[in-house]
Amino acid sequence: MKLAVSGKGGVGKTTVSALLAYLFAQRGMNVLAIDADPSPHLADALGFPEAENITPLAEMKELLMERSGSQGGAFYNLNPRVEDLPERFMVTKDNIRLMALGSVQKGGSGCACPENMVLRTLVRKLFTSESEVIILDMEAGVEHLGRATVQAVDALLIVVEPSRGSIETTEKIIRLAKEIGLDRLFLVGNKIRNQSDRDYITTRLKDLPMAGFLPLDMKVSDAEREGTPPFVASTELREAGENIIKQVMSNE
């Protein structure tokens, strides 16, 4: 099972990614978790020791420039060498291996194409590996999913909360995903308080299947502040996560 997780910033992509990685690992499956969010916190959400000391690959500017073959010029390598990077920078805890990529950001009209080419190539390499389960925690879009990677993705989970901004971002993600040929899309409702919240999401996004809903649970917020994995704190969250996995796997 190879899943990509997207959604508007702040809706809980990392919480969902960590929850699913944990639950698959609890089943005895080998999980590869890839953190491609511009502000990577998946290691922390998964309870990796000394998570704050894990440097995302996107921050290793010299390495990215060297692998891209670009020294600030207009030309760069479209097929950079990345085979050795997982072994060098991957960390492991129990059945979960973690690769912290992050995302190269440039202000204004600056282009980060060479550096991001290295990251996209690495995502493609990781997604075509033999891992039983891959969870990709990504930014609000599909930039890390090149056409070659899409062929390996079993489903894109779009995390959405009951707000207008989240709905509008989800609609954009759906359009982008379909443009690159990714058509197995599921919604995951997060921070759900009541039936009204569920109805708001399903009415506005009625063309996509719902994989499930995660409750608005103060235990999750408390756990995040304390540095505790949210899935440890909330039984309801774990149960909802199991239902999401069943829904996605039953629709393969």
Residue 41 has pLDDT above 50, yes or no: yes
pLDDT tens-place string over residues 150-192: 778 899 999 999 999 999 999 999 988 888 888 899 999 999 9
Separation between Cα atoms, residue 58 and residue 53, nearest integer Å = 14
Separation between Cα atoms, residue 235 and residue 231, nearest integer Å = 7
Place 71 in a pLDDT band, splitting at 50, 70 and 90.
Answer: low
Tell me how many domains the chain contains.
1
Measured in degrees and rounded to the nearest 5, phi and psi for residue 135 equal -120, 120
Strand-strand pairing, 96-100 and 91-93: antiparallel
Cβ-based neighbours of 23, under 8 Å, separated by 6 or more: 231, 238, 241, 242, 245
- Three-class SS state of 156: strand
Separation between Cα atoms, residue 247 and residue 181, nearest integer Å = 22
Q: What is the pLDDT of residue 252?
A: 63
Q: What is the pLDDT of residue 182?
A: 86
What Cα–Cα distance (Å) separates residue 170 from each residue in 16, 54, 142, 199? Answer: 16, 30, 11, 16
Residue 69 has pLDDT above 90, yes or no: no
Separation between Cα atoms, residue 212 and residue 246, nearest integer Å = 10
CATH number at residue 57: 3.40.50.300
Domain, as residue range, for 22: 2-250
